[in-house]
Chain A
Amino acid sequence: MQRLRTGLTLLAMGIGVVSVVVLTALADSTRRYVVGEFASLGTHLIIVLPGRAETTGGHAPLLGETPRDLTLEDAYALMRSPHIERIAPLVIGSAPVSAAGREREIRLIGSTAELKSIRRLSLAQGRFLPEMDPHQAVPVCVLGKTLRDELFGNRRAVGETLRIGDRRFRIIGVLAEEGHNIGINFDDNVIIPVASALALFDTASLFRIFTEVQSREAIAAAKEDIRTIIKTRHEGEDDVTIIAQDSVVVTFDRIFKTLTRMVASIAGISLAVAGIVIMNVMLISVTQRTAEIGLLKAIGATSGQVRLLFLAEAVWLSLFGAILGSSLGTAAIWVLHTLYPALPLALPGWALAGALMVALVLGIAFGVMPASRAAGLDPVRALARR
């Protein structure tokens, strides 16, 4: 009988700890996944976009047009800053693409050879855009993996021609599968030289400029340089937004940390409920064992010893439940990890330690009252009860 009761109490504490452990691990690994994705792009990346919002805390002008274009010349003028290692201008738009009689409307990216190293792209076949004068419109293109599969199936793509809008481009490479490269999904894209894209869309304006700074320390100086250079070129008008990649990473990190903490504390409510269950069981146990307590006291146990005895029992219950819960939780995480290897699922140490600590504290907090009740019993009356 005692065994069943103990088992159930452990189960209550176990459910609480399992949920805290598993949910925290899920939330925390999502955070690490997202932050890792951003960090893999290099933390000393600065993105320059046209337009600037004045309202503090507002969005950056994501797709805004400006009266003064952010041009290819502006982009290469940035190279004058000693802090800037390399740049890649970016033009984005949609265009109908056809090859071998199949047509699709796809997203087109105009850029230069530097995009490969800045966005850490790798190729499955062929080569990336060649190093050349960015003002030269060469009719070559690089396909994303998904697009290649849809247009060519099993046939060879490199060397074929692709019709984009009313122009023809020769396919010189296919990107390796990127999966989710945050910001831009390169799998369903075609990349062409920036000058060709500007001509295709009949525009002079860049969508973004990616700049890679030499080191993390130089970011502030590089930002200052970019602002000065653009201002001089734009007749004194400060009309670009400059975003440092590491500030984006920090923002995401903060958002997801808050989220993790929230999920952990919601699941933590169940720990409190489990604590109440322990207290209840301990109280019942004190009532049932009145005679035993009376006997203990009669043979010389002090009130302090009796209190300690019952307190130890409560702590033991909650701690053992917590250990049970964390091992179950760890097992669940392991199973999830085998099922979805893509997610870097791991239990953060603080969550495990935290769950055990909370269980210990709960055991003491909810054990105090039953223990005091047992300690306060009068030996004579306790013995006479039965």
Chain B
Amino acid sequence: MRIQDLMRLASQSLFAYRLRSVLTVLGIVIGIAAVVLLTAIGKGIHHFVLNEFSQFGTHLITVVPGKARTLGLSAGVISNVRPLSLADAEALQRLKEVVATVPVVQGNVQVELGRRLRRATVFGVGPRVPEVWRMSVGFGRFLPPDDYRSARPFAVLGARVHKELFPDHLHSLGARIRIGGDPYRVIGVMAPKGQMLGFDLDDTVYLPVGRAMPMFNRESLMEIDLLYRAGADPDEVAQAIKQLLIRRHGHEDFTLITQKQMLDSLDSMLEVLTLGVALLGGISLAVGGVGILTVMTIAVSERIAEIGLLRAIGAERRQILWFFLSEAIVLGGTGGLIGVALGIALVGAVAAVFPALPVNLAWGYAALALVLSLLIGLLAGVLPALRAASLQPLEALRAE
């Protein structure tokens, strides 16, 4: 029998039992659509989180004091006995592949303009922030490249702080404000950057690190961020940093976090999430498979006479086997195709109705679901088809 004939015969018998076939296919459709939709949500979240983290660029290495294990925060950031100093940041700046460094201290300070008060996150940083953190200045300019220890009292405001302190947007550049009690002059306002995982990046003020450290009564940095030349090998850069700091400190009392490493481990964690959701959706698919099995079993028992006739006029066992198998595969495959189409439509609908929910069609999983639906058809068809093929022609004919 040619494959076309086989398919036609299978489709014909499926059409003969229309309602039953539609319901069987529906089971698979629901399962596949669930897998497509759920993996799309999983992948959407995956992309969303990765974007949040990679918005600062991927050629970034962060040095924090203290040895930290895994992704957790090193307690050394809060306080430690072997500090990371401004001199360390300056020394790192001279490394070959390092484009720029930003020494960082962070804190929470009250900002005053006349009688307007606002508590904001203050970053004590160096002048290269726009480059290293990939942020842009809305207007004015960023902190000038003063010497860290004798930096002039200039401040750059985040968009949100600017809006709160200068609601009318007038005369903000050059204005004198008090930050933590000390007078500063506003020289720039950052472009809005939005939130990152709940942290408002615009509710911030940037000060020269040399002035923020005494404000917080600290002598050490919380971290040093380095931007390395695009194309440089991150491992080599990390090695060079490690050697330099060990030479300066005598011990390895710091932790390097390369952005690439962090993104990689985040990536694999989120990969697992998507897989888990896909498996949850797969349960329905399994139930749909049982549905095909049930219907095919019934079909074989109903059509014993037909099988006997086919065998009597010369159909081989193998042909009978393929006949029923292809019927099951057509059921699964049709369900898969419609399911994928429905899933894609649902993803579109979800994206339109809830724009805040990140969805991203996982084509790999959709294709896998389609293959799986064929496979389920095949598996569910095997037993009934084998039963049909093993029938004796005479007994089958007599059954009528």
Contacts and interface: CB of A to CB of B under 8 A. Distances in A.
B30 A269 contact: yes
Contact of A276 (B26, B106, B216, B222): B26
Contacts of A280: 20, 23-24, 27, 291, 294-295
Interface string B269-308: 0000000010011011011101101110110011000000
A54 interface: yes
B313 interface: no
B190 to A, nearest CB: 16
A67 interface: yes
B318 interface: no
A53 B119 contact: yes
Contact of B287 (A54, A263, A274): A274
B20 A64 contact: no
B94 interface: no
Interface stretch (B70-78, B128-136, B139-147, B352-360): B70-78
Given A93-B76, A94-B67, A201-B79, A239 B108 contact: yes
Given A200-B81, A204-B217, A272-B30, A266 B281 contact: yes
A9 B284 CA distance: 14
Contact of B19 (A63, A266, A283): A283
B118 interface: yes
Contacts, number: 188
Interface string B188-227: 0000000000111001000000000001111100100000
A194 interface: no
A83 B81 CA distance: 37
B392 interface: no
A149 interface: no
Interface in A315-345: none
B34 to A, nearest CB: 5
Interface in B88-115: 105-110
B38 A273 contact: no
A136 interface: no
A12 B77 CA distance: 55
B385 to A, nearest CB: 15
A279 interface: yes
Given A50-B108, A95-B80, A107-B75, 20 more contacts: A5-B294, A8-B294, A12-B287, A12-B294, A15-B290, A53-B119, A63-B73, A64-B107, A67-B216, A92-B75, A96-B253, A105-B66, A108-B75, A201-B81, A263-B280, A266-B280, A269-B30, A273-B31, A277-B288, A284-B298
